[in-house]
Amino acid sequence: MERSETSKAGNEAAKNEPSVKIRERAFAFSLRAVQLFQHLQKQKDGAGWVIGKQFLRSACSVGANVEEAQSAESRADFTHKLGIAQKEAREALYRLRLLRESQIVTKTNLDPLLKETDILIRVLGSIILTTKNGRKTRNHARNTQNSELRTLNFEL
């Protein structure tokens, strides 16, 4: 297999991994936050600057926490870091709503970003629930096995 085919196969595998998709999505979200902040800096509205700066911090924190979760020390640490990312996304959503409702930025310009923020919140929530439920399922299976072993030992 040639090198380009190998990297192409690696890219295809990466696209199928949820952790890569959420990482890319969170990074793209951060880039859009930077663009919005730069747009707000060109305006003369002081409130827009302040809200924009707060939005930028929370939006970039989403991606930073998703990245940090990739090197979590445990499953609980992983879900905790993604939980922080989800909270930051909710805060970013709040700031976007403020910008829209105060008419600092037009609804037309913000609606796609609001939709993406909502999707991020939902995806992060889904990953957290799946991770937590996976742990419960494995613990249940392990407890069932241990119970069966105790029964076998008792019968012997």
- Best CA proximity match to 24, nearest among 100, 113, 120, 148: 120
- Best CA proximity match to 127, nearest among 119, 115, 116, 138: 119
Helix (H) or strand (E) holding 4: helix 3-16
CATH code for position 137: 1.20.1440.60
pLDDT (tens digit, 0 to 9) for every residue of the chain, 156 residues total?
443 443 344 444 334 455 569 999 999 999 999 999 999 999 888 999 999 999 999 999 999 999 999 999 999 999 999 999 999 999 999 999 999 999 999 999 999 999 999 999 999 999 999 999 986 545 544 554 444 434 333 332
Domain that holds residue 34: 3-155
Report the residue count for the chain: 156
Domain count, the chain: 1
Is the alpha carbon torsion for 101, 33, 35, 23 positive or negative? negative
Distance CA 128, CA 60 (A): 19
Q: What is the pTM of this model?
A: 0.73
Cβ within 8 Å of residue 134, ≥6 positions away? none
